[in-house]
Chain A
Amino acid sequence: MKIEVMINNKKIAMEIECDEFLADTLRRYGFLSVKKGCDTGSCGLCTVWLEDKPVLSCSILSARVNGKQITTIEGVQKEAREFADFLVNEGAEQCGFCSPGFIMTVLAMKKELKNPTEEDIVHYLTGNLCRCTGYVGQLRAIKKYMGVV
């Protein structure tokens, strides 16, 4: 079936299977920042924005996003690099495979939460797994980025 989606502010017509998930469609159309890590909606690697809200693209049927707006990290490179600078400065990107989904969640959190506490931050990001860093380095980066003392 055919759908039309705004991806990173560009209208794209896509041919999809009716049972195809958004993460697969996005990768098929060249948005290779989108990674898959679990197949069960529990790792957060495939996080993109649907209408500006972070969602797990491995758990959303592509048919459902017809006519909607999708943002991947390719579409917010400037903001992503701003945060990535803090992340890389802490050495907390390590293998980097979880970073795109993680950064999309962090950027969404910055828009959504006003003056978050450390606890708020950890809660918001609990769905984003990382096996390399042990999380505390990522938290240091986020606190510096968010201005949380």
Chain B
Amino acid sequence: MKVVNSAISKIDGMDIATGKPVYTDDLDNNSLVIKILRSPYAFAKIKNIDTQKAEKLNGVECILTHKDVPNIRFTTAGQSYPEPSPYDRLILEEYVRYVGDEVAIIAAVDEKTALKAMKLIKVDYEVYKPVLDFEKAQEHKSIVHPEDDLHVNFDIGTNKEKNIAASYKTEVGDVEAELKNSEVVVEETYYTQAQAHGMMETYRAFSYMDHNGRLTIVSATQIPFHVRRIVARALQIPKSKIRVIKPRIGGGFGGKQTASVEIFPAIVTLKTGKPAKIVYDRKETFSCTTSRHAMRIKVKIGSDKEGNIKAIDMQALSDTGAYGEHAWTVFSVAGHKTLPLYNQAKAVRYMGNIVYTNKMTAGALRGYGVTQGTFALESAINELAAKLNIDPAKLREKNIIKEGETNPILGGSKEGQPVVLASCTLDRCIEKGKKLIGWNEKYRGKDMGNGKVRAVGMAITMQGSGIAEIDTASAEIKLNDDGFYTLLLGATDMGQGSDTILAQMGADVLETTMDKIIVHTADTDISPYDTGSYASSTTYVTGNAVIKACEDIKNKILENAAKLSDISKEDLMFDGTFVKKTNEENVLSLDEIAQRLSTGEGKNQLIGVGSFGGETSPPPFIAGFAEVEVDKESGKIDLIDYVAVVDCGTVINPKLARIQVEGGLVQGIGMAMYEDVRYSDAGKMQTNTFMQYKIPCRKDIANITVDFESSYEPTGPFGAKSIGEVVINTPSPAIANAVYNAVGVNVRSLPITPEKILIGLLEKNN
């Protein structure tokens, strides 16, 4: 390996850093501007809409209400077809289900005119009692989805009369019996809040009709191919009439795995024939798209007195908000990617419901349920350690899954055929993390003598690498006439550097340098199919496809060199620059092969292709350690240090991987300590700007240490696994554990605020 595992810079780094116009809104030209009239009520029926006055306004091109749009339900969740999310949306509907739900689409020559027109639209609503508390949704008199045509592609346990969007259950062994036989049982309930993605580029897309009468959508999306399918269904036009182009993306974090905005310019362009664009402002991004699913998770763990875990039971309830985007999948993942960590348990169970409420829809967000599950399970494990008076690191060392072991709910497992964990250095991650933070010296804590206590806490987590048997990617690599390559991919680089690391893999297979590979992503007319950049799949799934495509073209280069030189292919080899005889004598240079093939002599354009889909979903692992200082008087908490050690298999690019870890940790720290999507009693989101919704700023972040304990994943590209999501999961439980070790207060609902710590301290002292 020459290029893989080296810390090279991102291929688009200098241009995006220095302000080149490469993002969606930079590329638009003279489009109509779209604004959306939104519901002021959490739950209501539109009795009447009067748009006459607004339509007469100069510069208004089109106003669409529920009477003007196709009457076919769809989901905006960017998942492979058939999507496991309910088709419970219309583009516009006579029901509005949350404050901010769309009522009318307005397109005008400029923003000012569109906003003026919006004010002239008169809407009469019949207001209903909203379902706001997700713990009361199932018994609520109001039904969020009263319609008859809600459709599910397969049984996900939907019961809309009870406001249940989906339900899920998995069980291995006899949980009740094992719990009964356990000497010690911990039973607690944990709450995780809705979190906002907070990517810097808000949602945006523009569209136009091309010279062949096809609808072209340019969008900041992680899922160009899914967007094509979603728009085709929603607008009832053939997929062949739609092209989706993805330029540079200003961050996604799973938010752009939902097609939140593309349908609006698309329908305006179809209706008017004119280019149209929508750019969400920050308030719309916060309050009219998606957030993380808020969850309540009851955890029961049984063990013996020595800390050998016998059983784990997790009963959860998830709040999907007004629509069921990613409801079932986020929920299932919360159990599936936490429980296998403790594979010594004889019985595990995970089950519960995902309910509709009249709040903004929940959706995909980095971690995708595992973040929620990890907070609950890891907190409970830490509470078990405290109850047993065992060091939480030692409790884990005793119970965690190890390389070569199996677990029936590891991704890709079938009944009676549990997947074997082929790569795992979690035990070494814990060991190294302990050293880096000084665990043995700092556990459990130290009174600083000034009213403050310092202590450490820890957590572990895992994720997957793509979705087993579902995620798939293809790659094409083309040898151009001048002896350089174009790598065509359908994956989305939203900043994480996937274009770069995929080219690194290609460069290694083809034994060439990065400057010889042009990367092109993604345009549904040109790129080979890729499910999209989500589920931690790009390195693993698309990476494997790249390797196959590059091996394919390497083989074709040799075949064609044999024809051109009249030497048998078996006697030739390729070193990246020259095709040689096996005695090392140069026969043809790559440049010459390329040039001769592109002329009348060769008449052969070489294109290597490769497709990949994983049968398993090899989990990356991470051990996270927090050191906090808590003020006993005020409950104020300062994060002093955070250490994380990661097993992502082979590190393809140490520089980019490290930043992925640091960024994910800080997003996790935000969720642990600051971030909270809150609603008023009437269901209006109160945290809809960066003034109210506090993501970490520079001053909130002290020391962060990141290290790697590489493993080798045999199914991964060059031994690699994923890294994007796993990094967000540990801060919440590790910080909660550190706070407990400092002042003896267990904060079981996120975020961990000074108020909650202080209340805990006051309760403890009484």
Contact = CB atoms under 8 A, between A and B. Distances in A.
Contact of A43 (B200, B662, B665): B200
A97 B703 CA distance: 24
B146 interface: no
Given A95-B199, A97-B201, A131-B199, A126 B250 contact: no
Interface string A105-149: 000000000000000001101111111111111010000000000
Contacts of B704: 134, 136
B interface SS class = loop
Interface of B: 7, 9-10, 12-21, 23, 26, 112, 197-202, 248-251, 253, 281-283, 494-497, 653, 655-656, 658-659, 662-667, 689-691, 695-699, 701, 703-704
Interface in A12-67: 17, 32-35, 37-40, 42-43, 45
Contacts of A74: 19
B198 A80 contact: no
A38 B655 CA distance: 29
Contact of A33 (B20, B656, B666, B701): B20
Contacts of B26: 32
B14 A81 contact: yes
Given A73-B19, A97-B23, A38 B14 contact: no
The 3 closest A-B pairs by CB, nearest first: A33-B19, A95-B495, A96-B16
Given A72-B19, A88-B13, A97-B23, A136 B689 contact: no
Contacts of A97: 16, 23, 199-201, 250-251, 495
B18 A92 contact: no
Contacts of B248: 95-96
Contacts of A17: 112
Interface residues of A, number: 51
Contacts of B696: 135
B697 A129 contact: yes
Contacts of B7: 91
A90 interface: yes
B665 A134 contact: yes
A33 B250 CA distance: 13
Nearest to B654: A91
Given A45-B200, A89-B9, A90-B659, 17 more contacts: A37-B200, A39-B689, A42-B690, A43-B200, A88-B13, A94-B251, A95-B16, A95-B248, A95-B249, A98-B200, A126-B698, A130-B200, A132-B199, A133-B659, A135-B666, A137-B658, A139-B698
B9 A129 contact: no
A132 B251 contact: yes
A103 interface: yes
A91 B659 contact: yes
A116 to B, nearest CB: 13
A84 interface: yes
A39 B17 contact: no
Nearest to B500: A91
